[in-house]
Amino acid sequence: MSEKIMVTRSSLPPLDEYIDEIKSMWESHWLTNMGPKHNRLQKELCDYLGVSNIELVVNGHMALEMTLQAMALKGEVITTPFTFVSTTHAIVRNGLKPVFCDINPEDYTIDVSKLASLLSADTCAILPVHVYGNVCNVDEIADFAKKHGLKVIYDAAHTFGETYKGKGIGSYGDASCFSFHATKVFNTIEGGCVCYKEDHIGEKIYDLKDFGIHGPEEVSAVGANAKMNEFCAAMGLCNLKHVDECIKMRGRVYERYNENLDGIKGIKLNKIQKNVKSNYAYYPVVFEPDKFGADRDFVFERLYENGIMARKYFYPATNAMTCYEGRFNSYDTPVAGKISERVLTLPIYPELEPAEVDRICKVIRECGN
């Protein structure tokens, strides 16, 4: 069997580049607590993402959780079940009630036509998720939120570096939260950030990530510990230099998949949205078993047998997960349920060779009619 093909591969800069970046830390011994590398990365990310304000944090989940807490929300949050479980956990762990809105079957983002039917006197916010690099209908969400006085917090973990109508995706909503996990298009090993509009939100997030400390003898708020350390920030500084080239290489892999799979009956491919500059973060394929001749799980197993590690992402939908059994009804979001049972994300990373893409697609084609 050929070497295994993983679903993703973490991007790393040249080793000597990272060593050069961290070398000064052996002189300063400044390893964490908003050091010079943390501060440099914060500024460079503001410029790259086209946003005014950023707080760096330890990971993308804490970005979500602390943003909700900083806004002092109470009541219900309209969100999507078609996401990584972190999104739902962040809402629940803040003592808020997630109200699940179904997704649209075209780009798998929250179905804005269903928002009004889920609105109640207890609704305080909307937490939509940009999925696979597909951007939510930010214009209609903004109009709806303004009309009803709701906060909008985006889970933007899949859309690093993307723009919509030429504007950085992190500038939409009251806040946008990014993950810099090792598997993402841009990584700091572990890490994340919050892009926010109002200064007081940033101040509260800062308090939450650093114990509420404002001086050697001054602790003026109750906070936790969610700081990004200097080693992670250094990795981010190095990876940021290469991220545009990485995205370009991912785009070539994406197109190779399209060449192999486009037009096959029973396979639905993801289309790049109009006005969106994509980062090619994922390559999702939705199988229609009646037309293709095999279901998603069969294809998954055949790929696995051939050393190809695809992923059922997202499966199950979060409102169907064991930890929420009895609390939510997954039948309320039938489109999300259906897509979760039919979708596979195929391996995609900058170094994936055309011949490897061809091999993956050959296995898939052989599963069908």
**Same domain for 254 and 279:** yes
CATH number at residue 219: 3.40.640.10
Residue 6 lies in a domain: no
Identify the pLDDT of residue 365: 98
Rounded Cα distance between 4 and 339, Å, is: 27
**Same domain for 70 and 57:** yes
Residue 338 lies in a domain: yes
Q: What is the pLDDT along the chain (369 residues), one digit of tens a residue?
A: 468 999 999 999 999 999 999 999 999 999 999 999 999 999 999 999 999 999 999 999 999 999 999 999 999 999 999 999 999 999 999 999 999 999 999 999 999 999 999 999 999 999 999 999 999 999 999 999 999 999 999 999 999 999 999 999 999 999 999 999 999 999 999 999 999 999 999 999 999 999 999 999 999 999 999 999 999 999 999 999 999 999 999 999 999 999 999 999 999 999 999 999 999 999 999 999 999 999 999 999 999 999 999 999 999 999 999 999 999 999 999 999 999 999 999 999 999 999 999 999 999 999 998
Residue 301 lies in a domain: yes
Task: Provide the domain limits for residue 360.
Answer: 243-367
* Domain's final residue, options 238, 257, 276: 238
**Same domain for 252 and 226:** no
**Same domain for 218 and 79:** yes
* Domain's final residue, options 192, 221, 238: 238
* Domain's final residue, options 203, 218, 238: 238
Q: Which of 283, 276, 269, 358 has the alpha carbon at shortest distance from 313?
A: 283
Residue 4 lies in a domain: no
Identify the pLDDT of residue 2: 65
Q: Label residue 277 exposed, middle or buried (CB < 10 Å: 0-12, 13-18, 19+).
A: middle
**Same domain for 352 and 256:** yes
In angstroms, what CA-CA distances link 222 with 57, 75, 205, 211, 212?
17, 22, 11, 6, 5
**Same domain for 256 and 195:** no
pTM score? 0.97
Instruction: Provide the number of structural domains found in the chain.
Output: 2
Strand 283-287 to 267-269 pairing: antiparallel
**Same domain for 263 and 202:** no
**Same domain for 233 and 215:** yes
**Same domain for 73 and 201:** yes
**Same domain for 259 and 230:** no
CATH number at residue 249: 3.90.1150.10
Strand 151-155 to 123-127 pairing: parallel
Which amino acid is it at 242? H
